[in-house]
A and B are shown apart, each in its own frame.
Chain A
Amino acid sequence: SAVISQKPSRDICQRGTSLTIQCQVDSQVTMMFWYRQQPGQSLTLIATANQGSEATYESGFVIDKFPISRPNLTFSTLTVSNMSPEDSSIYLCSVANRELNGYTFGSGTRLTVV
């Protein structure tokens, strides 16, 4: 399985500011996925990040709010822009796990907006 290093692990941010979350994978992967998990909720896909092209966003998520970079096949960032308390959540990146045909997740970023 791929090993994903995600950082920061947690942060407390002021409303109106932005936070960039990084994910580094130990192998080359075509697609990386960014999820959000709000308290007591399941995982919601924010966007799919492909190297060399714009990310594909799911309904309810827009690039201005969650810009994504994918400069190479092992790295991606997600920025949460102009944060409000409603953005308080856990953000997770993931990649397809070819061996088990599922996903491997990063350890997550626990974001609190005050």
Chain B
Amino acid sequence: RKEVEQDPGPFNVPEGATVAFNCTYSNSASQSFFWYRQDCRKEPKLLMSVYSSGNEDGRFTAQLNRASQYISLLIRDSKLSDSATYLCAVNPPGTYKYIFGTGTRLKVLA
């Protein structure tokens, strides 16, 4: 089993739709979780941290399910500009490094 797994997609959704991605992780002791956004031919940029209690930033909601070992990202009212690849990152215990998933491609269609 990979340390971090994501559905590569693509997820093709119409503007205004709600879409959710999941990211599973194998190490149950992992402590820190993040979602990154990567546009084509650009570097990844931190979108949001994922807190145990869940957190929301505008149209974006991130949640952590420790029992099932996954994090999720929900995007409401999708915009064309949300089209990108969304990477999850997990911090294994006892290290400073992050393990990244392969990313989920989102295409928001007009």
Contacts and interface: CB of A to CB of B under 8 A. Distances in A.
A102 B89 contact: yes
A100 B35 CA distance: 11
B46 A31 contact: no
Interface stretch (A12-20, A37-45, A65-73, A77-85): A37-45
A105 B97 contact: no
Contacts, number: 47
Interface in B32-70: 32, 34, 36, 41-46, 49
B96 to A, nearest CB: 6
B46 A103 contact: yes
A48 B96 contact: yes
A100 B49 contact: yes
Contacts of B101: 42
Nearest to A1: B46
A98 to B, nearest CB: 12
A97 interface: yes
Contact of A105 (B41, B44, B99, B103): B44
Given A42-B100, A42-B101, A100-B49, A107 B43 contact: yes
Measured as residues with beta carbon below 8 angstroms from the partner, the interface class of chain B is 20 to 34
B102 interface: yes
B43 A92 contact: yes
Interface string B93-110: 000111111110000000
B45 A105 contact: yes
A80 to B, nearest CB: 18
B46 A43 contact: no
B87 interface: yes
Interface in A18-51: 31, 33, 41-45, 48
Given A42-B101, A103-B46, 18 more contacts: A33-B97, A42-B87, A42-B100, A44-B100, A45-B97, A45-B98, A45-B99, A58-B97, A97-B46, A100-B46, A100-B49, A102-B36, A102-B98, A103-B34, A103-B98, A105-B43, A105-B44, A106-B43
